[in-house]
Amino acid sequence: MRYIIRDDKAAVGKYVAEYVAKRINAHFAHTDQPFVLGCPTGSSPLETYKQLIAIHREGRISFKNVITFNMDEYVSLPTSHPESYHSFMWNNFFSHIDIQPQNVHILNGNAQDLVGECEEYERKIQAVGGIDLFMAGVGSDGHIAFNEPGSSLASRTRIKTLAYDTVLDNSRFFDNDPLKVPRMALTVGVQTVMDAREILVIIVGQHKAHALAKCVEEGVNHMNTVSCIQLHPNSLLVSDEEATSELRVRTVRYFKGIERAQEDIEKLYGLHGHKKTPSGSGVPLVNGLSGSH
């Protein structure tokens, strides 16, 4: 697992957006197959979406051949509700980029057959060859998507009852009234996220510090489902300084040190261990050299 720390929320968003843009552009440099991006909602990725929109407007990235799958959606909340994840995604991201509407996938929490909807979602992910990069946020109880504490680490897309902590957390979007927050959601499972070729988790704010410390310093545990990323061969965590407040000082120093070392390696040899040649094209130095995964 790589772990990158930035000063604040804005810097996290900038880092993540540039990272995602680089990944997408690198993908299209060697294939014209679609890039499949997993998308989260919530306040954590907002800055990333703003920055991705800016990068798109600068002409540095196109989403024409990008397929997206969102993590989750509330059950029984009308799609047109301002707090539905459909509204969130179109208002904050999709309406501002050149994505093709048919390439957007968001679970339908109003489907007649909710179980069938979840099974179909998994099938659609399979049909496009899996997810290249799954971005995620984290709940203050450590949930990834809506995989609340106690969720099976082998879970797939399904219906979940929301934990009371999550209902309280999310009531800020529903006039601070927990009674207005839907009690159930459809969510991709932990295993659905783990199947992605790469996972990028965004954690910002002091209220996420506990979940972050458990994810980084403790073992894999179903009570903090984001900790699953420890088992992923290609996961990246990006947080702001505030979120580090429950980590040991030496843990923070360790990961900052790793990032500095990685930068030095990249300066010397180019990204991912490709030694720079005079022409700048790069030759492989060490297979899979990536510093801290």
Ligand X SMILES: N[C@@H]1[C@@H](O)[C@H](O)[C@@H](COP(=O)(O)O)O[C@@H]1O
Q: By C-alpha distance, which of 169, 226, 182 is closest to 42?
A: 169
Kindly write down the DSSP assignment for every residue of 219-249, as one continuous string.
Answer: ---TTSGGGGGGG-TTEEEEEESGGGGGS-H
Q: How far apart are CA 89 and CA 66, in angstroms?
A: 15
User: Is 177 annotated in the active site?
Assistant: no
**CB closer to ligand X, 34 vs 182:** 182
**CB-based contacts of 101, cutoff 8 Å, min separation 6:** 94
Strand-pairing partners, residue 66, are: 35
**CB closer to ligand X, 40 vs 109:** 40
> What minimum distance in Å lies between the beta carbon of 236 and ligand X?
16
Helix (H, G, I), strand (E, B) or coil at 130: coil
Helix (H, G, I), strand (E, B) or coil at 166: helix
User: Is 141 annotated in the active site?
Assistant: yes
> What minimum distance in Å lies between the beta carbon of 139 and ligand X?
5
Q: How far apart are CA 133 and CA 131, in angstroms?
A: 6
> What minimum distance in Å lies between the beta carbon of 284 and ligand X?
36
**CB closer to ligand X, 236 vs 265:** 236
Q: How far apart are CA 292 and CA 4, in angstroms?
A: 11
- Kindly report the length of the chain: 293
Q: How far apart are CA 157 and CA 201, in angstroms?
A: 19
Active-site residue, from 27, 56, 105, 143: 143
> What minimum distance in Å lies between the beta carbon of 189 and ligand X?
13
- Contacts to ligand X by CB under 6 A: 40-44, 71-72, 137-139, 145-146, 166, 170
**CB closer to ligand X, 41 vs 155:** 41
Strand-pairing partners, residue 30, are: none
Write the single-letter amino acid at 260: R
The enclosing H or E element of 161 equals: strand 158-161
**CB closer to ligand X, 34 vs 137:** 137
> What minimum distance in Å lies between the beta carbon of 152 and ligand X?
17
Q: Give me 168's structure tokens.
A: 């309280």
> What minimum distance in Å lies between the beta carbon of 264 and ligand X?
33
CB 182 within 8 A of CB 162: yes
> If you ran DSSP here, which 8-state letter would residue 263 be given?
H
**CB closer to ligand X, 133 vs 145:** 145
Place of tokens 């984290």: 138
Q: Which residues are catalytically annotated?
A: 72, 141, 143, 148
